[in-house]
Amino acid sequence: MSHKRHSSMAGKRQRRAPVFAALADETRLSLVAKLCGGQPHSISQLTEGSKLTRQAITKHLRALESVGIVHSVRAGRESRFEFDPEPMIGIKEYLDFVSKQWDQALSKLKSFVEN
């Protein structure tokens, strides 16, 4: 982990809302799927093809925004939403870290019971 990444993570300490909980929803996952191409989308674009209202989509976008997965950017008179992968990378790294610890514990258990 580089120092740059390190300090940028420290800057995110204030975000207490769990990223996983924000993603545990089909609509929000589909919004992330649309946005993760990198292109910012307007609420109208994100509502297109969905059965949900603009208001409902906006509510979901705000939930994603609260954990930092999406950011809104002004484009003229309307807001556009863009994807920020960093909170998700944070979780993946964390799970990898816990996962590695289990690998080590289990390999110790293996030699413990097999000897």
Partner 1 sequence: MNNRIEKRIELQAPVSRVWRALTDYREFGEWFRVKLDGPFVAGQVSCGQITYPGYEHVKWETLVQKMEPERLFSFTSHPYSVDPKIDYSKETPTLVEFRLEKTASGTLLLLTESGFDKIPSDRRLEAFRMNDGGWTEQMKNIEKHVAQTS
The secondary structure of the chain in percent helix, strand, coil, rounded to multiples of 5, reads 60, 10, 25
Q: Of how many residues is the chain composed?
A: 115
Q: Is residue 37 within the footprint of partner 1 (CB under 8 A)? A: no
- H or E element, residue 87: helix 86-114
For partner 1, the binding residue among 21, 52, 56, 73 (CB under 8 A) is 21
Would you say 83 and 72 are in contact if contact means Cβ atoms under 8 Å apart?
Answer: no
Q: Looking at beta carbons only, is 80 or 87 nearer to partner 1? A: 87
Q: Is residue 4 within the footprint of partner 1 (CB under 8 A)? A: no
What are the residues binding partner 1 (CB under 8 A)? 1, 6, 9-10, 12-21, 23-24, 29, 67, 87-88, 90-91, 93-95, 97-99, 102-106, 108-110, 112-114
